[in-house]
Amino acid sequence: MTPARQDPDALIQRLQSEQRRARPGKLKVFFGAAPGVGKTYSMLEAAQHMRSGGADVVVGWVDTHGRPETAALLAGLELLPRRQAKYRGVALEELDVDAALLRRPALLLVDELAHTNSEGSRHRKRWQDVMELLDAGIDVWTTVNVQHIESLNDVVAQITSIRVRETIPDSVLEQADEIELVDLPPEALIERLRQGKVYLPEQAQRAVAHFFRKGNLLALRELALRSTAERVDADVRAYRREHGITDTWPAAERILVCVGPGPHAARLVRAARRMAAGLRADWTAIYVEIPSHARLPQEDRDWVTQHLRLAESLGGRVATLSGESAGETLLAYAREHNATKILLGKPTHSRWRDFFGGSLLDQVIRGSGDIEVHVSSGDPVEGASRRPPAILNLHSRPASYLGSLAAVALATAVAFVMNGHFQTTDLVLVFLLATTYVAVRFGRGPSMVAATLGVAAFDFLFVPPRFTFTVADVIYLPTFGVMLVVGLIVSTLAARVRERAEAARAQAQWSATLHAFARELAHARDVDTIAAATVGQIEVALGGPSTVLVARNEGALTMIPAASGFAVDENEAAVARWAYEHARQAGQGTDTLPGAVALYLPLQSGARTLGVVGFRSADGRPLTEANRRQMLEALAQQAAGALERALLAEEAEQIALRARTEELRNTLLSSVSHDLRTPLAAIVGSATALLTPDGALTAPQRTDLVRTIQDEAEHLSRLVANLLAMTRLEAGQLAIAREWVPIEEIVGSALVHFGSRLDTRRVDVRIAGEIAMAHVDPVLVEQALVNLIENAVQHTPAGTPIEIVATQDDAWLEVEVLDRGPGLPAGSEARVFDKFFRGPGARAGGSGLGLAICRGVIVAHGGTIEASNRAGGGTVVRLRLPVGGKPPAIPAETDGGLTGEESE
């Protein structure tokens, strides 16, 4: 088959797996068949070799178990201090991940990869610590035994009868860049054990004799050798693939494994993983939810979640489907995804159930066509209790049984009335009617009770001899039988209808939730709205508070406040940060930082992680139900899509803004370079003239030169201030800090700003309503007024008057600045507020920015500004600012005591 057969998903997954292998840090695993083969020893020996070659080697965690020859190898190696953890009063030591990240050695040694960390650690497992170190670019050497490999777990348990609890996912081993097999023949190992050279943890000591039997060791050794060989084989294939050698490229196999509720499927998942590894195939674990699963107890649903998680951790994909028939749904999915093999568990129930319900196995085999179907043993694993089959699950509310009792009583009453007018056997129909009603209304359990009670009541009340359970005529026995069987069948059918309706309702609700969310998001344009919609929708769908954190500006996570969102404290933020950086779920109910109070899901769109959504369940318990968790994931995914849109828009806007600012800066620079040079030339000229030593200057001339320096420097200062103000305005960095201010105060401040420069003119100020206040930014409005007055001063002859008139009503504050200068050239009334506009004959030295800044400030306040010529000559500039509501009340003075009156 050609590679074209692969579907895009598979390609993406392959790419991702290659990315995963391309971690910055390299992983080397010292792999052994059993404890005591000398993995730690080999690792330390190799490390010593590296160190003598000048490499930066640090020991993160190595346990020598008191063996002197191993301990001797630690000499000269830098030891990373261990993290001291305390759990239930027991002092424990763990690998200190943070210290390792801080120290950043080139190579870190971490013994015993399969170790489970103590409660309260960042990760539940040590291999997760190692992954984080690799991600951070630190090379890691580690050791592991074959029995710790997840997919070999069952096999090892079968060989040795000891189930190892500490396992690592196969994918970890696959990601290793190098695997070194540390091999020791079984005889030598047994000898070492006898000499007491093998350390064993206490709990294993009881099993020692059993475990270290030669047969076991041979089998384990074979397993280890085979795993290593498979790995070498994989490396060869990878090499061929990378170098375009495709002639032996195997057909793309895809394996589906069907998991169900109950503990057995874990073994099935592991088998699928082994099969997939052998075939280099993709594999997917599938759970088909059929309507009858709706009444499964929570415990069984949790099993499904666990199996799917196991599959994920083993490197498989996971899908949850729902449909009427498990077989048909599974086959449809298999065809759609070009599956080549389907793996099913052996049935564990009795055959009569297949007779009524149809067998999944039978359905799949018949409909499989060219897809191979494998059946694997589904024996219960040790420790898992067999649960009664779901068909006998009669959990119904007591009220339902009372209802069933009432229905039978009513049927009895009706039958009592009918009795005598109809044949006795016809009364049976009345009881069947009651049974059917109960089945539809209350479900299976109550309807079975109704059927039984019906038979009893019929027998007791109507079958002669009446009022005894004795039956006189044998002819009634088949009637009883048929009555009971029909009742049971009806109740089963009715119950199934009910379950389907409920499943359909749940499905509809799920779709409706997602649909509603999609619609809501379609209208959301900005990050805040999307966050609010997400938090709102999660609250509705899952009944708990959530929070959205978005990464802006290269990774700083900021919380987006939303109405019902919960606040994230420092600890929780660290968990969120982890989830964001690693693009994996973390927090409550996961393997990473499970001590957190909330569950954090990365918001991923494509390859990009945009942020994190945190969810805290209302009851404080982890979110374990598969369907609720899937709902949260689905909502997070939708939110991520919308967020990406919004963030892209935000970024585009920022880029546009930067471009605009940049353009403005260039224009400003080219436009004002002349204006900057003129005053500088005057200053430099005057200063050098003053420094000329020949004493030719008279005292008044010197004073004049000094004054020139002062005037031009002040001019320069105004120019720079205007440039800065303009840049800030155009860059959108203008923050308006509104306060209630009387306009008189602003006008006064602006006039004081000019000091003695206005002494040569008459300045009339007329302000109507002295204490009328407006809600404006006093600093900015003053600046606008200063610019207007400056403009009037510069463009009118000395000695002409300037007027400032302010009026105010409830809505608008109007300020006019009037002069008696030459007025505006016709047609330029609107253009005077443009940047760099200069009136003809404008005095050199204006930058053409003053009025543009003025307009910027006024427009930012929601006001307007206009200029026109005055009757009788001159210009009037009129600005209107919204008052901004009703000013706050000022408490009146109570005592009203006045100075001068109260004294003496």
Partner 1 sequence: MAALPVKSQNDTVSTPAPTVLIIEDEPQMRRFLRPALEGQGYRVLEAATAADGLVQASSHNPELVLLDLGLPDGDGLDVTRRLREWSTAPIVVVSARGQEADKVAALDAGADDYLTKPFGMPELLARLRVAERHAAQVRADVVDPVFEASGLRVDLATRRVMRDGQELHLTRLEYKLLATLVRYAGRVVTHRQLLKEVWGPSAVNESQYLRVYMTQLRHKIEKDPARPSLLTTEIGVGYRLCAESVALAPD
User: For binding to partner 1 (CB under 8 A), which residues are involved?
Assistant: 713-714, 717, 721, 724-725, 728, 739-742, 744-749, 751-752, 763, 765, 767, 770-771, 773, 778-779, 782, 804, 887-888, 890-891, 893, 895-903
Nearer to partner 1, 698 or 894 (CB): 894
Identify which of residues 692 and 903 has a Cβ nearer to partner 1 in the complex: 903
Q: Of 482 and 713, which CB lies nearer to partner 1 in the complex structure?
A: 713
Determine the distance from the C-alpha atom of residue 852 to the mean position of all C-alpha atoms in its chain, rounded to a whole number. 46
CB of 855 to partner 1, least distance (A): 19
Q: Cβ atoms within 10 A of the Cβ of 480, count?
A: 17
Name which of 20 and 728 has its Cβ closer to partner 1: 728
Upstream peptide bond of 263 is cis (omega within 30 degrees of 0) = no
Shortest spacing between CB 834 and partner 1, in angstroms: 24
Contact 563, 640 (CB under 8 A): no
Q: How far is the CB of 860 from partner 1 (least distance, A)?
A: 15
| Location of structure tokens 């590894």 | 277
- The amino acid sitting at 450 is A
- Residue number, 155 or 746, with CB nearest to partner 1: 746
Rounded to whole angstroms, how far apart are CA atoms 426 and 423?
5
Q: Nearest distance from residue 171's CB to partner 1, in Å?
A: 51
- Tokens found for residue 621: 């318990």
Please tell me what DSSP assigns to residue 730. Answer: H
Q: Which is nearer to partner 1, 113 or 716 (CB)?
A: 716
- CA 428 – CA 422 distance, rounded (Å): 11
Closest C-alpha to 314, from 175, 171, 173: 171
Compute the least distance from the CB of residue 804 to partner 1, in Å. Answer: 8
Q: Which is nearer to partner 1, 658 or 762 (CB)?
A: 762
For partner 1, the closer of residues 407 and 792 by Cβ is 792
DSSP for 331-371, please give it. Answer: HHHHHHTT--EEEEEPP-S-HHHHHHH--HHHHHHHH-TTS
Task: Tokens for 704, please give them.
Answer: 């004049």
Count CB-CB contacts under 10 A for residue 202. Answer: 6
The whole-angstrom distance between residue 703's C-alpha and the CA centroid of its chain comes to 71
Cα–Cα distance for residue pair 219/225, rounded to 1 Å: 10
CB of 179 to partner 1, least distance (A): 53
Q: Is the dihedral of CA 298, 301, 307, 310 positive or negative?
A: negative
The upper half-sphere exposure of residue 134, i.e. CA atoms within 13 Å in the direction of its Cβ, equals: 23
**Which amino acid makes up residue 576?**
A
Which C-beta is closer to partner 1: that of 66 or that of 888? 888
**Closest CB to partner 1 among 167 and 722?**
722
Give whichever of 618 and 765 is closer to partner 1, judged by the CB atom. 765
The sign of the torsion formed by the CA atoms of 620, 623, 625, 631 equals: positive
Give the containing element (helix H, strand E) for 452.
Answer: helix 444-462
Q: Which is nearer to partner 1, 606 or 896 (CB)?
A: 896
Q: Give the closest residue to 479 by CA, choosing from 418, 429, 407.
A: 429
Tokens representing 703?
């004073």
| Shortest Å, Cβ 658 to partner 1 | 21
Closer residue to partner 1, CB minimum distance, 234 or 765: 765
Nearest-approach distance from CB 748 to partner 1, in angstroms: 5
Alpha-carbon span 480 to 454, nearest angstrom = 10
Residue closer to partner 1, measured from CB, 220 or 774: 774
Nearest to 848 by CA among 888, 791, 806, 792: 791
Shortest spacing between CB 892 and partner 1, in angstroms: 10
Shortest spacing between CB 680 and partner 1, in angstroms? 15
Taking alpha carbons only, the member of 283, 287, 284 closest to residue 296 is 287
Task: Give min distance, CB of 99 to partner 1, in A.
Answer: 31
Q: Write down the least CB distance from residue 104 to partner 1, Å.
A: 29
User: Which of 552, 594, 813, 845 has its CA nearest to residue 712?
Assistant: 845
Q: How far is the CB of 865 from partner 1 (least distance, A)?
A: 20
- What is the secondary structure of 778-837 as a DSSP string? HHHHHHHHHHHHHHHHHHS-TT--EEEEEEE-SSEEEEEEEE-SS-PPTT-TTGGGSTT-
In the complex, least distance from residue 698 CB atom to partner 1, rounded to whole angstroms: 23
Does residue 345 contact residue 264 with C-beta atoms inside 8 Å? Answer: yes
Q: How far is the CB of 592 from partner 1 (least distance, A)?
A: 40
Round to whole Å and give the CA distance between 846 and 719: 8
Q: What is the CB-side half-sphere exposure of residue 29 using CA atoms within 13 A?
A: 29
Contact between 633 and 534 (Cβ < 8 Å)? no
Structure-token pair, residue 243? 């170098």
Q: Are 599 and 623 in contact (CB under 8 A)?
A: yes
Contact between 541 and 631 (Cβ < 8 Å): yes
Compare residues 323 and 887 and give the one whose CB is closer to partner 1.
887
Residue of 631, 591, 570, 639 lying closest to 611 (CA atoms): 639
d(Cα 538, Cα 635) in Å, to the nearest integer?
7
Nearer to partner 1, 841 or 891 (CB): 891
Residue 902 CB, nearest approach to partner 1 (Å): 8
Which residue has 């190892």 as its token pair? Answer: 164
